[in-house]
Structure 1
Amino acid sequence: MARKEIEIKTADGTARAGLFQTGNGARAGVILYMDAFGPRPALDGMAERLASEGYMVLVPDLFYRNAPYGPFDAATAFGQEDSKAALMALLSGTTQEMTVRDSGAFLEALAKEGAGGPVGTVGYCMGGARALNAAARYGDRIKAAASFHGGNLAGDAPDSPHRHAAGIKARVYVGSAGVDRSFPPEQSARLAQALRTAEVDHIIENYVGMNHGWCVPDHTAFDAAGAERHWRRLAGFFGETLRG
């Protein structure tokens, strides 16, 4: 497994990113949109596993405008006042539009590194909405978009992904936590309606018994069996859309 750090020039500065690939010259690329705790070993391990499926995987630091920051312990960060305040500042200071705009540079970086084929996106927690919104903006490049325990996918905000469903040309997979205040059943229904109206090929799957964060190994909500189910779904989804 080859891993290297790269720097990506954006309209607002320079974003650091991890790039993961096997030695087989992967043509299809994947952008992995981080959760709220930033790039760290847990996400690196997830990117390595995804890259082992034959993809070039990019994990950009979405908070680069405010670097340096952290590091944060995903198990305790929201339970401590100082780290919680720092995280909330990073979250509020990094808008959906910023990430979507940056995603054009992320796509260019993948192409420059040799991933000239189709591109998929996958996001966790805050990254879930960004993976879908990026697909809406760059429909000519992004062929598959997945979200796991993504929050506010069909909320009231103008940047809610369901409002931009008409721009999505990719296939979409949404894995929702059975217990998740950030994506309650009414939002799931609203997202499904928006995607169906826009004629987007999609699946929304409810992982009963899972809590927000179940896929990521350093979360307190991590569930090994649920995470393996997520990996099976993601491997099949990208296999059909990026290789088919």
Structure 2
Amino acid sequence: MTEVHGMSVDIRTPDGVADAYLTHPGDGGAHPGVLLIQDGFGLRPSLRDMADRIAAHGYTVLLPNAFYRHGPAPVIELPDFIDPEARPEIFQQLFPMIRELTPELLRSDAGAYLEWLAAAPQVAAGKIGVTGYCMGARLAVLVAAGFPERVAAVAGFHGGPLVTESADSPHLLVGKITGELYFAHAGEDVHKAPDHFAQFDKSVEAAGDRHRTEVYEGAKHGYTQADTAAYDAEFAERHYRELLALFDRNLRQ
């Protein structure tokens, strides 16, 4: 794979300055842009590694700290290996920050991230790709639905919540997405009721042939995250294959 160059960058938003990680091929050229949206644990070394791997396939990847309103990453101290069952206090610290990421705040932040990508010399002209994990998969849908003119492809892995009672529930927004969508649920996801999969998938199917969902049978919630107890190397590799194929189909002209 291509050698990549990663750096820390600051992005001004209406609410302050978001710290972020930017990584891109080290050939000096401009490459299709990708917005990587974190899981609930936040911006950390393992997510930077994921961004680097995507960048090595010819993309410029921006990974913002979604919790920047609480300070630069790491916003809370995390162990090198995250097992929430052994460390329940981790979620007690994170849940208030996760809940405060309302659709209104997300749209405001996403607009700043997309504007920054459009102006970055490392990013080629044209639409971008978005990928999100856990809570980031929900946010990825909101970004793609809120900025359809900017997003050519959107992916989500072990995402949630995807079905809520609110008017901006992800399952109600997929019809606004004009880029190609791919979502992969965890078959053993204890964080979502099984009928939520069905409701979300029904909405995706109704949105068109270019939208697709799968269930990775046997995978746990968080299967892509190498520093967590839920990680599964086989399903993580499957995720990379599907994600890069999605981006290649839609971001390379």
Decide: shared fold, TM above 0.5.
yes
- Deviation track 1:73-122 (CA, whole Å, cap 9, x = no partner) reads 36135643543321112112222331232111111111121322220000
After TM superposition, the structure 1 stretch with the greater mean CA deviation from structure 2, 46-55 or 229-238, is 229-238
Q: Which residue of 1 aligns with 2:149?
A: 140
Whether the 8 Å contact between 1:165 and 1:200 is mirrored in structure 2 is: no
CA apart distance, 1:125: 0.5
Per-residue displacement from partner, 1:8-39 (whole Å, max 9, x unpaired)? 11111110110000123233100000001111
Using structure 2 for the length normalisation, give the TM-score.
0.90
- Give the structure 2 partner of residue 57 of structure 1: 61
Counterpart of 1:70 (choices 76, 87, 94) is 76
Return the letter of the residue paired with 2:15: D
Pick which of 91-100 and 43-52 moved more. 91-100
Q: Secondary structure at the match of 2:41?
A: coil
Q: Confirm or deny: 8 A CA contact 1:128 1:147 kept in the other structure.
A: yes
Q: Are 1:95 and 2:92 matched, yes or no?
A: no
The residue number in structure 1 matching 2:140 is 131
Secondary structure in 1 aligned to 2:205?
helix
Residue 45 of structure 1: aligned partner: 49
Question: Alignment RMSD, CA only?
Answer: 1.7
| Secondary structure at 1:104 match in 2 | helix
1:187 to 2:196 alignment: yes
Structure 2 CA distance for partners of 1:201 and 1:146, relative to 1, 3 Å: same
1:202, 1:82 → 2: CA distance? 37
Are positions 1:199 and 2:191 aligned together? no
Structure 1, residues 181-230: CA drift from partner, whole Å, max 9, x if none? 33443222212222333336211011010000011100101011111111
- The one-letter amino acid paired with 1:19 is L
1:142-161 matched pairs, under 5 angstroms: 142-161=151-170
Which residue type is aligned with residue 120 of structure 2? Answer: E
- Report if aligned partners of 2:180, 2:210 keep a CA contact under 8 Å in 1: yes
Deviates more, 1:129-138 or 1:81-90: 81-90
Deviations 1:132-187 (A, max 9, x none): 11000000010100000001212333332111123211110001101113344322
The answer for the alignment partner of 2:40 in structure 1 is 36
SS at 1:203 equivalent: strand
> Contact 1:172 / 1:200 at 8 angstroms: preserved in 2?
no
Worse-superposed segment, 233-242 or 181-190:
181-190
SS in 1 for 2:39: coil
Instruction: Decide whether the 8 Å contact of 2:127 with 2:149 is kept in 1.
Output: no
In 2, the alpha carbon distance for the partners of 1:87 and 1:206 equals 27
Secondary structure of residue in 1 paired with 2:173: helix
- Name the SS of the counterpart of 1:121 in structure 2: strand
1:10 pairs, out of 13, 24, 28, with 13
CA distance in 1, matches of 2:207, 2:44: 36
The answer for unaligned runs of 5 or more in structure 2 is none
- Whether the 8 Å CA contact 1:148–1:175 is kept in 2: the answer is yes
Q: Report the TM-score when normalising by structure 1.
A: 0.94
